[in-house]
A and B are shown apart, each in its own frame.
Chain A
Amino acid sequence: MWRAGHNLPAVLSGATTLAALSLATFSVVSLAQNSALALDGTPADPFQKSSGKVVVLVFVRTDCPISNRYAPAIQRVSAKYDAQASFWLVYPDKSETAEKIRQHEREYKYELPALRDPQRALVKLAQVRVTPEVAVFGPNRHLMYHGRIDDLYQDFGHARHAPTTHELEDAIQAAVAGHAPPASSPGVGCFISDLE
């Protein structure tokens, strides 16, 4: 089974970072039972498919207005870090079908691969609570950051005109450079635990 993710400040040296970029030695056999699914219904492991890049999981829901409002920002950040980070949209709502997700991606102009996570395998691994929270994994599937994208929302209904912090970008940069990631800050949004 999955080992618990941890969120200790990364103290990896440059050398270990480089060494760990090769994920070939990690087995994904355990995915079969309790796996995220690609939209074609087959088990999918974002780590295996991310060829050594930093892995960013973005948890969204088709009917969550806050995660929807973030769509342009998510798309923008993913394009900016295209070379260093592999972004995945993760839909944890069992009732959201592949067709519904494809339509959602079209509507919000997402150009990111989407995964369904009906068993909450990735939710548990990423330790997220609401949509839209993100998880940034460094080498060795090391959970470096989980939480909000930025501080646009302070609370329900209390959005800033523009964010003043950028935790997701900071975390990606930290993961790439092997620096300490930002402290985890909870996101404001729709509770994943409400889903069946």
Chain B
Amino acid sequence: MTRAIRTLAVIFWTCLAATLAAGPKDASPGRPHDSADQHVTFNRDIAPILFHSCTVCHRPGEAAPFPLLTYKDAKSHARQIAAVTQKRFMPPWLPEPGEQKFAEELRLTAEQIAVIQKWVEQGTEEGDPADLPAAPKFVLGWQLGQPDEIIKADKPFVLPASGSDMYWNFIFRTPVDRTRWLRAIEIRPGDKRVVHHANILVDRAQSARRQEELAGAGFAGMEIKIASEAFDPDSHFFFWKPGTVPQPEPDGMSLRLDKETDLVLNIHLQPSGKQEVIQPSLGLYFTDKPATLHPMLLQLEGDRQLDIPPGEKNFLVSDEFTLPLDVDLLAIYPHAHYLGKEMQAFATLPDGSVKMLIHILRWDLNWQAVYRYASPVSLPRGTSISMRYTYDNSDENPANPNDPPKRVVAGNRSSDEMAHLWLQVLPQVLPDSTIDPRSVLQESMARRIIEKNPADFEAQYNLGAVLQDRGVMEEALRHFAMAVRIRPEDAIANNALGAALLAAGRIDEAIPRFSAALQAQPDNFDAHYNLANALATQGHFPEAIDHYRAATRLHPDDANAEANLGAALAEAGNLQEAKLHLERALRINPNQELARDNLAEVNRTLNNQHP
């Protein structure tokens, strides 16, 4: 009669940003023409480069400050274009070219950059109109067509005219009255010229709301913490950066959206010189097809290594993780704050070969993104994934938030640092199809985190939950006990430990854990329900009834709680009321067998009493 406890996935992310920069897919236009004598012209040589790599943002209504759609546009920014492309500041694209290709790469080739320089040196000639390619065509308005639902932030955020970058979180109350499946979310971040990037976190437990001072107003913060009580690791990148064209999730990878799920939009804003009012909206696109493929996010991190002395130019942080099964790597998201410098992630395969997964020579938080691979990267079981990041905490790093530099450690504020690497992987189905490959990965990740830091509460809890799911009860119990030792007043951990003890028949030890859970959180449904079960098992029916009643008040639609309340009332001799609750349980769930059997028994007894 013990209720299965839920696993707890605490997600500690920021800015999950997928790069979906748009643009036609033909590769590298604007090749230099053959004749060295010929002048470079806009129509023949420059326009193709701009149309392919720049106009997605450099057009009216988009993020860039000026359009680059015509000769006149380009000419009035010609030296600017030459300078920013030569420095590779534009188009913004951080990864070095490598063996693994990313989707929608925005990187210009050295030849393209040289052609632009030459065009400016030679006097920005327009050239023959016949050479001008057709202007790119863009969809106006919602990029995926009219959304099924549009939700707008309740209250706008007013960005001051000046100051340093800001991070704001909007909470969207979702409009679904039952579980739906999403094939896409289109993010309209508000004024595109001040929003550097935006990403959505799925908040199934509505935990972010606790951070709002005023309901609907949102809250400040660069890194936000979302608690999830379901074993349902969120694995989707919903992201906006300048030039993003939303793309539907791949077939089979729709996102479950339950009733009472919040979507939290974390946005990075840069003051523009004038006050800006930001009120984002989201377009939701539903599908009837539930998810059949379940990608997961793996995290490597080195936060505890971060203790960077002032003046240090090359502080190294590294981490490794060995894959317990075969995966397809779909996307990668490196993340640090303003001191991050060089970033590398690579995979060492079991045969010893090395695949560079991403290499960023000069990290720039302003252009962070999730990079999707052009095609999935297969990584077999036993592959070791490594991250190596360096940090520059000297005054030579202009982005250094401290002047003069000071000691920096890990933290959530933008002046703190982070060393995170997220990988979106699709685990391959295991030979034993009854085992969920995600739980195998989850277990490996939790064990790896505990190896690095035995005091990691979430990892201890998650490992306990995965082990319990697999029926490895003794070890599960040990990890729940560790979680409680780390956070003695945590309601969820106490409840989980209590439930594990109850399942092991250690009822006397279980009861104080449920009581501790309820002391921490008096409205914890699971703890009331489990405590009631423990008390009922010991024959303490009046006390059990009190807790079942509390449970049914919290979840009036829970058939099991109603059925057990009915059973306890029957045990206590209150058959009339027992009948009421058993009937209610059956109305909620006509297949609740316990309620059906007990109701039959209660009815027989009542009939015998009043023939």
Interface residue ranges, A against B (CB under 8 Å): 63-65, 68-73, 93, 95, 107-109, 154-162, 164, 190-191, 193-196
Contact = CB atoms under 8 A, between A and B. Distances in A.
A72 B77 CA distance: 25
A95 B162 CA distance: 27
B164 A161 contact: yes
B164 A69 contact: no
Contact of A72 (B79, B161, B270): B161
B503 interface: no
23 contacts: A64-B65, A68-B272, A69-B272, A108-B161, A108-B273, A108-B274, A109-B161, A155-B89, A155-B398, A156-B84, A157-B364, A158-B398, A158-B399, A159-B398, A159-B399, A160-B398, A160-B400, A161-B165, A162-B403, A164-B403, A190-B80, A191-B77, A194-B79
Interface string B248-270: 00000000000000000000001
Contacts of B80: 190-191, 194
The B contact surface, by secondary structure, is loop
A168 to B, nearest CB: 15
A71 B87 contact: no
A196 B123 CA distance: 12
Interface in B65-82: 65-66, 75-80
Contacts of B401: 161
Contacts of B65: 63-65, 68
Nearest to B338: A161
Nearest to A69: B273
B79 A191 contact: yes
B309 interface: no
B524 interface: no
A73 B274 CA distance: 11
Contacts of A159: 398-399
Nearest to B77: A194
A157 B366 contact: yes
Contact of B274 (A68, A93, A157, A162): A68
Interface in B44-90: 65-66, 75-80, 83-84, 87, 89-90
Contacts of B161: 71-72, 108-109
A42 to B, nearest CB: 26
Contact of A194 (B76, B165, B193, B270): B76
A71 B403 contact: no
B403 A72 contact: no
A156 B89 contact: yes
A65 B274 CA distance: 11
Contacts of B84: 156
Contacts of B76: 93, 95, 194-196
